[in-house]
Chain A
Amino acid sequence: MATLLLVEDNDLNRDMLSRRLEKMSYDVLLAVNGQEGVEMTRTHVPDLVLMDINMPIMDGWQAVRELKTIEDTRSIPVIALTAHAMTSDREKADEMGFDDYATKPVDFPALVHMIEAWLHRTA
């Protein structure tokens, strides 16, 4: 099955989401902030990254920018996870480099659907 990287600073959210994803038969890697997220992406090269926005040390905006700049990680889809749901946020996410966008609290089935779509994209 596919490997996902979950970058989330809140431990409850991290725990909740990773366990549910693992029940869906994904391999889930964890990072607690943006910096760790970038490093782990480079080293482990997951199939998809789920990135929280508000994080210490390096936030989601910075991290996705880095990931999209680095040659090796550019092609990995990065989905933003955020509490905001404004169009402007969506636009910003798009501009910053996120491939997709999901709001918290997470609509789990929809998220899975989104992940599957990205993993099986033709490109």
Chain B
Amino acid sequence: MSETFTPVFHRVRTLPIRTKLTMLSVLVVFSLTTILYLSWYRDTSLREMNETRNAITSMDMMLLNLRRNQNDFVNLYDPRHREQFSITFEHFVESTEDLKDQFWALNLPMETLEQLVVLTSEYQYLFEVMAELQTTIGNDQTEGLRKQLSRAIIDLENLLAKVPNDANMRHALHRQLVILQLFTKDLQLHKQTEDVDRFEGNYAIMVSDVRRLVHDTDLRLNLIVTLSSYRRTFLELARAAREIGLDYEHGLRGQIERTVSSAHVKLVRLTNEVNSAIDKQEQNLNALIGLLAGTFSVAFLVALVSLGRSISIPIRRVTNIMTRLADGDLSVEIPDKPRRDEIGDMLRALRVFKMGAIIRRRTQEELRNAHDELEHRVEERTRALSDEVQERRRAEGELLRAREEAETANKAKSLFLANMSHELRTPLNAIIGYSEMLQEDAEDLGYAEISPDLDKINTAGKHLLGIINEILDLSKIEAGHIELSVEKFLVQDIIDTVVGTVQPLITTNDNTLIVDSASDIGVMESDITRLRQILFNFLSNAAKFTESGTITLHASRQENPDTHVDCMVFSVTDSGIGLDEEQLKRVFDPFIQADASTTRKYGGTGLGLTVNREFARLLGGEIEASSTLGEGATFTVRLPAIAAETIQYHI
């Protein structure tokens, strides 16, 4: 049995929490609804019962009214009271009928009510009988015994009036009459029946008095006859009255009284019955409600506690598992009975986590091993490397020291040379100057033949000055003492100056100079002196190595494709002897002209291109050379149109 039960039980126990809460809520709602309904039901039924009780009470009141009406009727004999009685009585009967229905509906015993109905009928019957008798009796206004009596009295009085005027007689007779009237009145007032006997007595006396005293036979006869009829009527009235009952204990009135009493008692009993029914109903329903509330409370508490536990216990277990996993104990057991609630989800996640953790741990171990291995190898390598580095560093140190020494030596040399410039130039200037002066003197004094020799001295001096300048420039560049001065100038101006200066050299070898530059070539910003030097160098070289040829000076503005900087490009092309590959490679090297013979043949210091290339570079540009042996050469200088951005002052 438990075999089949457990799975079901397990399924219920592992319903999602949400579902359990919903069920609990349904239970609460249902119970509360039931309780509310029962309360409402109780109140409604009690109210109905109360109404029934009230109905009974009003019936009691009706009974009182009936009694009053009936008494009024009897006492006053006003037919209106009889009507009133009937109406009230009808109401009473109706109420009884209603009560019957209510009792039926309330499932109350009908016995007492039946008895009441019976009493009611009795009452009606008795009342009718009494009413009839009362009608017979009547009153002074209506036809009836009393009226007859009144009339009889009047007749008697009339007759007595006819009696002859004997004061004594009339007086006595009147007195008798009055006594009879008194008795009659008493009787009407329902006093004791002894009055009847006393009446007879007095009546006899009156008759004898009449017989004795009245001498008129007719009168006497009338009187006696009238008295006799009066007596008859009186006796009839007495009988009727007696039957009705002279008090509340005798006769019909007595019976009625007893009947009404009984009815009242019945009504009281009915009230009690209804009361007890009310109480019972209230008690029952309250008990039911109480029981229901109690049961529900208990059930709710139980459900709540079990719900709480069904959440907290699994969660504690899950927490326990998680703690152990977190601590690193991967041997922890995760229950694998499938659950479909949130706990089940947690357990599934934990299972995955645990597997992941195991894999991770294994991977970590492998990694650690690999890491250790790697570290070991790295250590070995590092040791080897650091030895190497130390060795290198030592070599570097030596090199650095050597370089420093060389630099210092170089700087010292350059400085020496730069300082020497003044010392070198001064005697040279004297040679140049005096030779010129002597030439002038020679011509003035008529010794023109010695002028060429003097000219040779002058030329040699200038040549030497040129070499010295170039050497000094180069040494200044090496020492880093070069000074550049940048200014704006018209390109056309520099072209004109250079062309003007070089013209004699051009014509010397019978060459032609062509200048090719745009008229709007504009302005550039650079070191005008150095540029002049460069251009003069190119042109003088071209002139030197070309005979009867063409020398072209190109000038243009171009944009450097790599740096997008505006450049001025000057190139000098000649149709001279040109250079071969070897020469072209070494053309910018210092002190290397094409070869030694050309130096002697063509002059020049051999430093020009070297120095000028350095100047071009300092100004942010470059010098290039190209040539075809035997056909000519082209030397190009490219400088930024605005030198400020790329220039280096005083490096």
- Check A105/B483 contact, CB under 8 A, given A17-B433, A20-B440, A87-B528: no
Which of the 9-residue segments B265-273, B424-432, B491-499, B634-642 touches chain A? B424-432
Contacts of A85 in B (CB 8 A): 529
A54 CA to B483 CA in the complex, in Å? 19
Say whether B440 contacts A23, CB under 8 Å.
yes
Which of the 9-residue segments A8-16, A36-44, A65-73, A94-102 touches chain B? A8-16
- Check A13/B426 contact, CB under 8 A, given A86-B529, A87-B528, A105-B465: yes
Option from A10, A20, A86, A106 in Cβ contact (under 8 Å) with B426: A10
Contacts of A106 in B (CB 8 A): 429, 433
- Check A16/B465 contact, CB under 8 A, given A86-B483, A87-B529, A88-B483: no
Chain A residues numbered 81-123 whose CB sits less than 8 Å from any CB in chain B: 83, 85-88, 104-106, 108
Contacts of B444 in A (CB 8 A): 23
Say whether B485 contacts A104, CB under 8 Å.
no
* 7 closest Cβ pairs, A-B complex: A12-B430, A87-B485, A16-B433, A105-B429, A88-B485, A105-B432, A20-B437
Say whether B483 contacts A12, CB under 8 Å.
no
- How far, in Å, is B90 (CB) from chain A's closest CB? 149
> Within 8 Å of chain B (Cβ to Cβ): is A19?
yes
- How far, in Å, is A21 (CB) from chain B's closest CB? 11
Contacts of A19 in B (CB 8 A): 437
> Within 8 Å of chain A (Cβ to Cβ): is B487?
yes
Say whether B429 contacts A13, CB under 8 Å.
yes
A86 CA to B437 CA in the complex, in Å? 27
Contacts of A83 in B (CB 8 A): 421-422, 425
Identify whether the interface residues of B are mostly helix, strand, loop, or mixed.
Answer: helix
- Check A86/B485 contact, CB under 8 A, given A12-B426, A54-B422, A105-B465: yes
Interface pairs (5), CB distance under 8 Å: A13-B433, A16-B430, A23-B444, A105-B465, A106-B433
A85 CA to B487 CA in the complex, in Å? 14
Contacts of B529 in A (CB 8 A): 85-87
Option from A13, A20, A23, A54 in Cβ contact (under 8 Å) with B430: A13
Contacts of A23 in B (CB 8 A): 440, 444
Q: Which residue of B lies closest to A23 (CB)?
A: B440
Contacts of B440 in A (CB 8 A): 20, 23
Say whether A16 contacts B487, CB under 8 Å.
no
Identify whether the interface residues of A are mostly helix, strand, loop, or mixed.
Answer: helix
Contacts of B426 in A (CB 8 A): 10, 12-13
Say whether A108 contacts B436, CB under 8 Å.
yes
Q: A10-B426, A16-B433, A86-B529 are in contact. List 18 more A-B contacts (CB 8 A).
A: A12-B429, A12-B430, A13-B430, A13-B433, A16-B430, A16-B434, A20-B433, A20-B437, A20-B440, A23-B440, A83-B425, A87-B485, A87-B487, A87-B529, A104-B425, A105-B429, A106-B429, A106-B433
Contacts of B430 in A (CB 8 A): 12-13, 16
Contacts of B425 in A (CB 8 A): 83, 104-105
Q: Which residue of A lies closest to B487 (CB)?
A: A87
A110 CA to B387 CA in the complex, in Å? 71
Chain B residues numbered 472-519 whose CB sits less than 8 Å from any CB in chain A: 483, 485, 487
A10 CA to B426 CA in the complex, in Å? 8
A20 CA to B441 CA in the complex, in Å? 9
Chain B residues numbered 283-334 whose CB sits less than 8 Å from any CB in chain A: none
The contact string, 1 if C-beta is below 8 Å from chain A, for chain B 430-467, is 10111011001000100000000000000000100100
The contact string, 1 if C-beta is below 8 Å from chain A, for chain B 93-135, is 0000000000000000000000000000000000000000000
A20 CA to B430 CA in the complex, in Å? 13
A119 CA to B462 CA in the complex, in Å? 30
Option from B421, B428, B437 in Cβ contact (under 8 Å) with A16: B437
A88 CA to B436 CA in the complex, in Å? 30
- How far, in Å, is B489 (CB) from chain A's closest CB? 10
Contacts of B421 in A (CB 8 A): 83
Contacts of A16 in B (CB 8 A): 430, 433-434, 437
A87 CA to B432 CA in the complex, in Å? 24
Q: Which residue of B lies closest to A91 (CB)?
A: B485
A23 CA to B445 CA in the complex, in Å? 12
A104 CA to B424 CA in the complex, in Å? 13
- How far, in Å, is B533 (CB) from chain A's closest CB? 11
- How far, in Å, is B32 (CB) from chain A's closest CB? 109
The contact string, 1 if C-beta is below 8 Å from chain A, for chain B 397-435, is 000000000000000000000000110011111101110
Q: Which residue of A lies closest to B441 (CB)?
A: A23
Say whether B437 contacts A12, CB under 8 Å.
no
Contacts of A108 in B (CB 8 A): 436
A87 CA to B485 CA in the complex, in Å? 6
Q: Which residue of A lies closest to B428 (CB)?
A: A105
- How far, in Å, is B434 (CB) from chain A's closest CB? 6
Contacts of A54 in B (CB 8 A): 422
- How far, in Å, is B378 (CB) from chain A's closest CB? 60
A86 CA to B529 CA in the complex, in Å? 8
Contacts of B432 in A (CB 8 A): 105
- How far, in Å, is A8 (CB) from chain B's closest CB? 11
A23 CA to B422 CA in the complex, in Å? 28
Q: Which residue of A lies closest to B483 (CB)?
A: A86
